[in-house]
Amino acid sequence: MQTLAQTLTSQAVKDSLAQLLLSLADTSKAISSAVRHGALAGVLGATEQENVQGETQKKLDVITNDMLKDALKAEGNVRGLASEEEDYVVEVSPQGEYLVCFDPLDGSSNIDINSLVGTIFSVLPAPEGELNEQSFLQAGRQQVAAGYVLYGPSTMMALTTGQGTQFYTLDPESGEFLLTNDNVQITPDTAEFAINMSNQRFWEAPMQTYIADLLLGKIGPREQSFNMRWIAAMVGDVHRVLCRGGIFTYPTDNKNPAKPFKLRLMYEANPMAFLVEQAGGKASTGYETIMDIQPSEIHQRVAVILGSRNEVDMCLSYHGEDYSQEPNID
């Protein structure tokens, strides 16, 4: 089986980018080890701090953020980084060619219940000149690489450099990421959806109707039964979609009118959209293709609907109709 380094060479990925990706892979091995030691290493539980988005930081959020920051600072090819756990962009190496946006530990509410978590990353080209937030505000279409590492029963990396989506599995014996799927393909059709149903009453009318039709099963307009899954870690839900198809959505809701979206564009939606598109799937907000959004701030949030191409199209067709009905408010 090919190693990650061998695959990047066979894809003729530029040396500087390959080095950066290998450094991210190495750091994820250390994160995997920290996650696996769990309570033994005293890394579970919360800190007393909140991140810029008002979420309580878990100890492992902070530890993994520091691990990635230190590795990217030592790396040499990174001009700057933006992280879910950093209020502002961080300047790294003046000569660096790339910007890295990351969610160091996605799904961190799963940590304390020993459930799925992962690291998500997106690599953009660094523009010339001074580094500031503006340097990062590039559409997802500009990404030169994106991926995640899932700390599950096995540690797996999903990666794209724009040449399809590949899966690598960490071999515990050799410590190498080995290529275990060189051409991930999302089935175009599916009978499985992923959504946090507890927010149902807060969704917009198109999503209410779409999900209601799925729930009607064989007696509804879709004339088939649908299954539901929700891992509460985007990384886990998207991995399932890449493995066996499905539609995953965290739609617009009016639970808190000041915060109509949950997932972050730069280090959650964009990298996942790149992986999904490269695997033959689609990713949209309901009204706009995720990777075509012009970001306005690094911690911007967006609605996300992604996965099996035909099912995403079906969901989008509901959004194209005239829904005059207001979402329910309780």
* Cβ atoms of residues 177 and 2 within 8 Å: no
DSSP string, 27-85: HHHHHHHHHHHGGGGT--SEEEEE-TTSPEEEHHHHHHHHHHHHHHHHHSSEEEEEETT
Q: Does 233 bind ligand F6P (CB under 6 A)?
A: yes
How far is it, in rounded angstroms, from Cα 247 to Cα 251? 12
122 DSSP β-pair partners: 101, 146
Q: Which of positions 182-201 make contact with ligand F6P (CB under 6 A)?
A: 196
Q: Which is nearer to Mn ion, 118 or 206 (CB)?
A: 118
* Cβ atoms of residues 227 and 244 within 8 Å: no
Residues that bind Mn ion (CB under 5 A): 103, 106
Residue 233 binding target from ligand F6P, Mn ion, none, CB below 5 to 8 Å by type: ligand F6P
Q: Which residue is nearest to ligand F6P (CB)?
A: 234
Q: Does 312 bind ligand F6P (CB under 6 A)?
A: no
> Starting at the edge strand that comes first in sequence, how are the strands of the sheet with 282-284 ordered?
227-228, 192-194, 247-250, 304-307, 282-284
Q: Does 179 bind ligand F6P (CB under 6 A)?
A: no
Q: Which of positions 249-268 make contact with ligand F6P (CB under 6 A)?
A: 250, 262-263
Binding mask 71-110 toward ligand F6P (x if CB under 6 A, else -) reads -----------------------------------xx---
* CA trace torsion 100, 148, 150, 203 (10° rounding): 100
C-beta neighbour count of 152 within 10 angstroms? 17
How far is it, in rounded angstroms, from Cα 73 to Cα 212? 48
CB of 172 to ligand F6P, least distance (A): 25
Q: Does 56 bind ligand F6P (CB under 6 A)?
A: no
Q: Does 234 bind ligand F6P (CB under 6 A)?
A: yes
* Cβ atoms of residues 66 and 74 within 8 Å: no
Q: Does 60 bind ligand F6P (CB under 6 A)?
A: no
CB of 103 to Mn ion, least distance (A): 4
- Total residues in contact with ligand F6P, by rule CB under 6 A: 10
Q: Does 232 bind ligand F6P (CB under 6 A)?
A: yes
Helix (H, G, I), strand (E, B) or coil at 98: strand
Q: Does 281 bind ligand F6P (CB under 6 A)?
A: no
How far is it, in rounded angstroms, from Cα 320 to Cα 133? 34
Annotated binding site for substrate: 106-109, 196, 262
Annotated binding site for Mg(2+): 84, 103, 105-106, 268
Q: Residue numbers of the site for ligand F6P (CB under 6 A)? A: 106-107, 196, 232-234, 237, 250, 262-263
